[in-house]
Chain A
Amino acid sequence: MIDHEAGHLALRTQLVAISGLPSARAWENKDFTPTAGTPYIADQYVPATHRLLTTMAQGGSAVETGLYVIQWFGLKGSGISAIRTGAAAILAAFAPGSSFATTAGDTIRVRTDTAPVPGQILPLDKGWAVCTTKIPWQAYSHNVVAT
């Protein structure tokens, strides 16, 4: 099994390197109070499946999949340009086939059989609108059976 904290941080490192990203960030499971009129970014790391690929359980190859969800909270009623430009920058940073090394020695790859997609811009209350980009990832690991 990969180190998911390290995996999340590797993806987040790639995210924050994007030029033009809002400086306000609502990171997963951290308290955050948005400021009216100030766009912000939120992320969620969502592990999904873990499957053994080989018949050797101990030390066998396994593949894990999941989603990295990035939400760009922009300003409602200000048009689509800023949010769509941001979503396009996110897509460029997480192109299919991109790989990111983690501090734990794992490698997270953006899947190529299904690609990252930005969603519809949804209007929200209190002057916000959001665009959610979902990045499907996979990572290979060596299975460890507790003895």
Chain B
Amino acid sequence: MTDFADQMRAFSLKVETKSAAVFANVVSATQGSITDGSPVTGAPGQPVDTGNLKASWHTDFESPSSALISTNVEYAQYIEDGVVAVGSRRGNVTGGTLQRLTLRSAVGGFHSVAQTVAGFPAIVADEVAKAGAP
């Protein structure tokens, strides 16, 4: 009986350890999908001009099972949606007639956050598969 209880405790510990690792890997893969792009989600990653936006994304672990991935760059939503931000030099370059951004960066693209959100179940499935059975 003691053997069985010990085995159950060991198994439970193994599951908890693996769950924590999977969670950390899911968070890392999610941020990576937003910033660098991901074949799992199809997100292109952040386009780079100065690199300010891409470098601004960061993760705060709010609890052992909750994380917040965010940026405080004010034009982030404009890049996500592919539109010219208020007062941006890109707006001036286009003479103010165009509201949509032209992608000039060799890397990244628009809608990376949306693609990552849409692909989140695939990220989880991918990381669980990588972790294997407990």
CB distance from A59 to the nearest CB of B (A): 23
Which of A61-69, A84-92, A95-103 lies at the interface?
A61-69
**Chain A: interface residue total (CB-CB under 8 A):** 31
Instruction: Report whether B118 and A114 are in contact in the complex, using a CB–CB cutoff of 8 Å.
Output: yes
CB distance from A139 to the nearest CB of B (A): 14
For the residues of A in contact with B, the DSSP-based class is strand
Whether a CB of chain B sits under 8 angstroms from the CB of A130 is: yes
A47 in contact with B42 given A124-B86, A125-B86 (CB within 8 Å): yes
Residues of B in contact with A, size category = 20 to 34
Q: Which listed residue (A42, A67, A71, A126) contacts B118, Cβ 8 A?
A: A67
A48 in contact with B115 given A123-B86, A124-B86 (CB within 8 Å): yes
Q: Scoring A residues 99 to 123 as 1 if CB is less than 8 Å from chain B, else 0, what string do you get?
A: 0000000000001011000011011
Instruction: Report whether B84 and A124 are in contact in the complex, using a CB–CB cutoff of 8 Å.
Output: yes
Instruction: Report whether A134 and B111 are in contact in the complex, using a CB–CB cutoff of 8 Å.
Output: yes
Residues of A within 8 A of B77 (CB): 119-120, 122
Whether a CB of chain A sits under 8 angstroms from the CB of B128 is: no
Q: Which listed residue (B40, B99, B117, B118) contacts A128, Cβ 8 A?
A: B99
Residues of A within 8 A of B42 (CB): 47-49, 65-66
Residues of A within 8 A of B114 (CB): 67, 69, 134, 136
Instruction: Report whether A71 and B87 are in contact in the complex, using a CB–CB cutoff of 8 Å.
Output: no
A119 to B85, CA, bound (A): 15
Residues of B within 8 A of A49 (CB): 39-42, 119, 122
A residues lining the B interface (CB < 8 Å): 26, 33-34, 42, 44, 46-49, 51, 65-67, 69, 71, 73, 111, 113-114, 119-120, 122-126, 128, 130, 132, 134, 136
